[in-house]
């Protein structure tokens, strides 16, 4: 069952993996980021989202910002040790903080067209109509499991269901976006593989269906 979800916000950063130190965003939201955004609104183990198309409603605009980040992380093993009575893990931000530049998107606005399929984890009483009704109700009420974001948690995303029957005013832009992250392959949890595809905007629409995926 296909759904149209409108999302918009002030800033977005869908980081290119080839940029190691400073963050540089893709020109448009990636399929994996779009799926994560929809899952933040409603997720259930009995369903799996598939991104079909992404419609570009605002021109692609970049801006430079500088952000304070920490260079260290707290290991899960340290937290587990603390839970068993060991010393509590500590992160000294004054010593670990560092300032990084980022090339991010500004004033983003998209419509995400997606559908979902049932998985083997669905309960006997689950069905597509039930899940679609729940998702539509959460979209109309602005409910979510956690705040959807555009790549980084400090870039929150507003969302609503696109009105039924209303045409989508995608920008008349046709552009080759090069290789873009499609998704992550979790078939082998010990060796998670990124998947890429050749992305192209055609009349403001990024078609994510039946694409050739490279690993």
2-68+103-214, what's its fold? Alpha-Beta Plaits (3.30.70)
**Structural domain boundaries in the chain:** 2-68+103-214
Beta bridge partners of 116: 49
- Phi/psi at 19 (nearest 5 deg)? -95, 110
Residues contacting residue 111 through CB under 8 Å, at least 6 positions apart: 4, 5, 6, 7, 54, 55, 57, 162, 168, 170
Of 21, 29, 27, 4, nearest to 152 by C-alpha is: 29
How does pLDDT run along the chain (215 residues), one tens digit per residue? 689 999 999 999 999 988 877 889 999 999 999 999 999 999 999 999 999 999 999 999 999 988 777 766 766 776 777 777 777 666 666 666 777 888 999 999 999 999 999 999 999 889 999 999 999 999 999 999 999 999 988 999 999 999 988 999 999 999 999 999 999 888 888 888 899 999 999 999 999 998 888 88
The two tokens of residue 175 are: 């552009």
Alpha helices (H) in 48-180, listed in sequence order: 76-83, 93-96, 128-141
């Amino acid at each position: 069952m296909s759904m149209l979800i409108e999302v918009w916000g002030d800033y977005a950063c869908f980081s290119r993996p080839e940029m190691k130190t400073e963050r540089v965003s893709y020109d448009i939201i990636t399929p994996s980021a779009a799926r994560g955004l929809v899952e933040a609104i409603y997720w259930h183990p009995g369903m799996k989202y598939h991104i079909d198309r992404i419609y570009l409603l605002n021109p692609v605009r970049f801006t430079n910002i500088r952000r304070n980040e920490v260079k260290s992380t707290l290991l899960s093993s340290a937290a587990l040790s603390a839970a068993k009575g060991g010393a509590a893990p500590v992160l000294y931000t004054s010593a670990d903080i560092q300032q990084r530049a980022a090339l991010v998107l500004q004033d983003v606005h998209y419509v995400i067209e997606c559908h979902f399929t049932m998985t083997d984890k669905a309960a006997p009483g689950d069905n597509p109509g039930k899940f679609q009704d729940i998702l539509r109700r959460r979209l109309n009420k602005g409910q979510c499991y956690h705040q959807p974001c555009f790549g980084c948690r400090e870039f929150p995303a507003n969302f609503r269901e696109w009105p039924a029957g209303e045409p989508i005013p995608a920008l008349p832009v046709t552009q080759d976006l090069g290789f873009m992250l499609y998704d992550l392959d979790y078939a082998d949890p010990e060796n998670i593989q990124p998947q890429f595809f050749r992305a192209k905007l055609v009349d403001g629409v990024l078609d994510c269906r039946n694409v050739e995926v490279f690993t």
